[in-house]
Structure 1
Amino acid sequence: MSSDSAAPTSDALERDAHLASTDHKVEPSEIAMGVIIGRTSEFFDFFVFGIASVLVFPKVFFPFADPLTATLYAFGIFALAFVARPIGSVLFMEIDRRHGRGVKLTIALFLLGFSTAAISFLPGYDHLGVTAIVLLAAFRIGQGLALGGAWDGLASLLALNAPEGRRGWYAAMPQLGAPLGFMLASALFSFFLANLTPEDFLDWGWRYPFYVAFAVNVVALFARLRLVATDEFVNLLQTRELEPVPVLELLRVHWRHVLIAAFVPLASFALFHLVTIFPISWITLFTQRSAGEFLMVQFAGATMAAGAILASGLMADQIGRRTMLAICAGLIALFAVGSILAPLLFGDSMAGQTVYVVVGFGLLGLSYGQTAGAVSSNFGARYRYTGSALSSDLAWVVGAGFAPLVVLSLSSRYGLACVGLYLLSGAVATLVALGVNKLKARAA
C-alpha cells in the first residue's frame, strides 16, 4: 500500500506535504522540539490573557466596579475558555475526521492567534460600553475553542517513539510549554510595566503582548505541520493509534476511564493557576508590592518549574509515572496544609510571598511534568487520541478554569487559608482517582 493512500483523512495539501517529507526520518528529539514550540505558543496566548485579567481588564473593561469586583468579573471571562475547550475538541475532532489533521491545526491555530491578537485592537468600556465586554468574552471563547482544536496527538507520538526506558523523560518534554509560555508573557508585561507610565500602559502598552501572539502561533503552526506530514505520524494513523473517533462512541465505551483520567491531574491543575494568575491578583489588590517586580519573581519560579519538569521525567523513568503522580499529589497536599496553617506566609511578607511562588512552581513542575497521558493506556489504541484530548479538557475545566475566580472570591472574604483548602481538594482528588484506577487495573 502506498504511503499517500494510507492517509485517507488528509486533504491534497497535507498529502503533498507528506510526500515531500517521506525521505526524512524524524527523531524523537525533533518531535519533542515541535511539541514544545506548539505548547509554548498555546500557553503564551493563555497567560497573556490571564495576566491582563489582573493588570488591565478590571480597569479597561470594568471601570464601573470596585477593583476586587472588577477582577472577579475578569476572572469570570477568563474561565470561559476552559468551558469552551471540550466543545472545541468535539468540533475539531470532526474536522480532523473529515478533512485531516493539517486542516484542523491550521484552522485552530489561526483562530487562537486571531482571537488573541484581536483583543489588542479592542476598545475599552469607555468607548463601546457593554459591547466591549461582550466582544472580550467572545474572543476568550474563541481561544478556548481553538485550544481544544489544537490537540494534535504529537505528545502521544513522542511517547510512542521514545527509546526504551525513557518514556517518562519524553512525556515531560511537551509540558515545558507551560513555563516557557509563562516566562515569555510575564517578561513582556514586566518590561512594559517598568518602562511606561501607568496611563500609557493602560492606553496602549498592554496591547503589545497580544500583538505578538499571532506571529508566535504562525511559527508554531509550521513547526507542527512539518511533523504531521511525516511517515511516523501516518504509520500511527494506519495502526489507529492516533485516529479520532466520535466522542459519543468514546463515552459509550470508556466513560469511566474518561472520568478517572480527568481527575488524575487535578492536584497539578489546581496548583497551576494558584502560583501563576492568582498571586498576581492578590499582590495587586491587597499589597503594596510592584506587579512588575513580582512578575519577575514568578519568571524565576517558572525557570525552576522547567527544571523540575525535566527532573520529573528522570524520576518517572525510575519509579513509574503513576507513582510519581501519587508522590507529587502527596507533596502538594503537604504544601496545602502548610498554606492552611500559615496563611500569613503569603500575606504582607515579601519573603513569604517569594517562598510561596518558588516552592509552588517547583511542585508544579514535578507534578505537571507527568500529567500528560498518565492513564491514556486505559483507552486502548483506537480510543487513545480522542480519550486523551477529552479527559485533558475536562481536567482543565474542573481543576484550573475557575481556580482564580473561586480562590480570590473566598480568600478575600475568609482569608488565605482558602488557597490551601482548594489545593488540598485537588490533591485528594488525584490520590482517589489513582487509587480507583489501580483497583480497576487489578480487577481487569
Structure 2
Amino acid sequence: MSAAAIDAPELAHDHGPVSPGEIAIGVIIGRTSEFFDFFVYAIASVLVFPGFFFPFVDPLTGTLWSFAIFALAFIARPVGSILFMAIDRAYGRGFKLTAALFLLGGSTAAIAFLPGYETLGMGAIWLLALFRMGQGVALGGTWDGLASLLALNAPPEKRGWYAMIPQLGAPLGLIVASLLFAYFTAILPGADFLEWGWRFPFFVAFAINVVALFARLRIVVTPEFQHLFETRDLQPERALVTLSTEWRTIVIGAFAPLASFALFHMVTVFPLSWVFLFTTEAPTTFLLIEAAAAALGVIAIVVSGKLADRIGRRRLLGYTAAAIAAFSGFAPQLLDLGEGGEIAFMGLGFILLGLAFGQSSGAVSANFATRHRYTGSALTSDLAWLFGAGFAPLVALWLSAHYGLLASGAYLLSGAVATLVALWLNSELGKAR
C-alpha cells in the first residue's frame, strides 16, 4: 500500500470528524482535478495533436482522428470501474483511489513526453492511444462515492442543492485549462508552442492530481464514510450482480442526462475545433471566450440547485431538455457569425448546460436498491458519458464539415429526445413500483 493511503487514516484522526462542508470541498477538488485532466487533453486534441501525430493527412482529417482517440477514454472507463471496484473490495477504498489517481496522473504526464509522428511514426499514435485508454481506466477508478455520501447526508428539501455541488468541477476545470492554454498560446511563438509549450499543462495536471488525492483521502478514511461503507450504503457490489438486477435503472439512468452530456461537448470541445479549422480567429481569443462562458456555467449550476429544490429535479431536467432541443435548431449557426456569434453561442450554451448538467448526476439513483447504489451509480455515469459525450466531438465535427453547422444540431437533438424518453420511462417505472 502506498504511503499516501497509509498516512490518510492518521490524517483523518488528527483533524477529527469531517463536516458536510469539508465533504463538499473534497468533492469539488476531486471533480475539478478530473475535469482539468479531461480538458487539457481535449484542448490539445484540437490545437496540437492533429499536426503533431497526424501530419500525413489534412487538418480536418487529422482532427477527426484525434477525436477518435479522444473517445477511447470513454470506452475504457467502464472497464476501469469494474477493475477498480475489485481492487476496492480486496484492498480498500484508500488504496483504490491512490492507484487510480496515480494512473490518471501518470498517463497524463506520459502524454507530455511523447514524441511526434515525425520522430516515432505510427508508434507515437499507438502510444497516444494507449495513454488515453489509461486515462479512461483511471477515471473509472476515481469513483469514490463522495457525491453519494454528500447526497445521503442531504436534507430532503435540499437534495437539488447538494446534487449540484459535484458538477461544479466541470466548468471550474475548463476555466483553469482554457486560461492555461490561452496563456501559452499568447506568449509563445506558434512553433515553440507546438514543439514544447503544450506539454506544460499536462505536467500541471499531474501536480493537481496529487493535491486532489490527499483532499479525497482525507474523507474516504473517516469513520462516517467507513460506517456507510460497512452498512453497504457505499459498498462496491460486483458489477455482474448489479447489472443482472438493476439493468433497467442503469439503462434509464444512462439516458436521462444525455441532453446535458451531448451539450457538454457541443459547447466545449466541438466549437474550439470549428473555430480553429474554419475561421481565422486566434485560438487565444476563443479560449478566453470559453473561460468566460464557463464562468456563466458555474453560476447556472448553482442556480440549478435552487430551482431543483423548488420545482423538482426531474421536472427541471425535462424543461432543460426541451430548451436544449430548441437550442439545437438554431444555435450552431451562430459559430459562423464571427466573434459576436461565438460569444452568444457559448454564453447561451453554458447557461443551458449549467441548468441541466447541475442536476444530471444520479437523477434516478434513488431507484437503486441500497446495496447496488454505489456500483449502479458508477456504471450509470460511465455509460452516460460514453453514449452522450464520448463521440460528440467526432460526430458533430464530421456532420458540420460535410453538411453544415445545422447538421451538428441533430446530434444534440437526439440527446434531448433521449432524456425526455428516459424521464418518462423512469416516471412510469416509479408508478409500477
TM-score calculated relative to the size of structure 2: 0.97
Q: Are residues 1:288 and 2:280 paired?
A: yes
2:12 alignment counterpart: 21
Query: Which whole-Å CA distance do the structure 2 matches of 1:440 and 1:20 have between them?
Result: 44
Partner of 2:351: 362
The one-letter amino acid paired with 1:77 is: I
Tell me what 2:334 maps to. 345
2:402 corresponds to 1:413 = yes
- Cα deviation per residue 1:385-416 (whole Å; 9 max; x = unaligned)? 00000011001110000000011011100000
Aligned residues: CA RMSD = 1.5
Who is 1:40 aligned against? 32
Read off the aligned partner of 1:46 and give its amino acid letter: F
Residue 317, structure 1, aligned to residue 309, structure 2: yes
Output the CA distance in 2 between the equivalents of 1:87 and 1:281.
Answer: 29
| Partner in structure 2 of residue 71 of structure 1 | 63
Task: After superposing the two structures, state which structure 1 stretch, 217-226 or 346-355, moved more.
Answer: 346-355
Name the count of aligned residue pairs: 432
- Could you report, residue by residue, the CA deviation over 1:113-171 in whole angstroms, capped at 9, with x for unpaired residues? 01001111111011000000000000000000000000000000011112342121111
Aligned to 2:361: 372
Query: Aligned equivalents of 1:407 and 1:420: distance in 2?
Result: 8
1:308 to 300, 303, 306: 300
Distance 1:112 1:41 in 2: 10
How far, CA to CA, are the matches of 1:97 and 1:223 in structure 2? 22
Hey, what's the Cα distance between the residues in 2 that align with 1:126 and 1:208? 21
Give CA-to-partner distance per residue, 1:184-228, whole Å, 9 cap, x none: 110011001111110000011100001111110000000000000
SS at match of 1:370: coil
Q: Which runs of 5+ in 1 are unaligned?
A: 1-9
Matching residue within 246, 249, 265 for 1:254: 246
Task: Determine the C-alpha separation between the residues in 1 that align with 2:352 and 2:75.
Answer: 26
User: What letter matches 1:158 in structure 2?
Assistant: L
- Determine the C-alpha separation between the residues in 1 that align with 2:11 and 2:32: 27
1:7 alignment counterpart:
none
- For 1:355 and 1:371, the matched residues in 2 are separated by 24
The one-letter amino acid of 1:266's match is L
- Relative to structure 1, the CA distance from residue 11 to residue 347 in structure 2 (aligned partners, 3 Å threshold; closer, same or farther) is closer
Return the alpha-carbon distance in structure 1 between the equivalents of residues 2 and 393 of structure 2. Answer: 41
Q: In 1, are the aligned partners of 2:30 and 2:215 still within 8 Å (CA)?
A: yes
Question: Is the Cα–Cα contact under 8 Å of residues 117 and 210 in structure 1 kept in the other structure?
Answer: yes
Residue from 84, 87, 101 that aligns with 1:92: 84
Aligned to 2:23: 31
Change over 3 Å in CA distance of 1:115–1:14 after alignment to 2: closer
Which SS does the other structure have where 2:31 is aligned? helix
CA distance in 2, matches of 1:128, 1:17: 41
SS at match of 1:122: coil
1:48-95 deviation line (CA, Å, top 9, x unaligned): 010001000011111111000000010010000000000100100100
Letter in 2 for 1:424: L
Where in structure 2 are the equivalents of 1:261-280 lying within 5 Å? 261-280=253-272
| Cα distance in structure 2, aligned partners of 1:377 and 1:404 | 31
By how many angstroms is 1:11 displaced?
10
Given the alignment, which residue of 403, 409, 431 partners 2:420?
431
Structure 2 counterpart of 1:140, from 109, 132, 135: 132
* Separation (CA, whole Å) in 2 of partners of 1:40 and 1:369: 14
Question: Are residue 395 (structure 1) and residue 384 (structure 2) matched?
Answer: yes
- TM-superposed CA distance for 1:14, in Å, is 5.6
Q: Distance in 2 between matches of 1:302 and 1:316?
A: 21
Contact 2:44 2:198 in 1 (8 A): yes
- Residue 206 of structure 1 aligns to a residue whose secondary structure is helix
- Kindly provide the amino acid, as one letter, of the partner of residue 62 in structure 2: A
Partners of 2:171 and 2:333 in 1: how far apart? 26
Structure 2 unaligned spans of 5+: none
Quick check: 1:15–1:229 contact (8 Å CA) kept in 2?
Answer: no
Overall identity of the aligned pairs, in %: 62
Give the stretch that moved more between structures: 322-331 or 244-253: 322-331
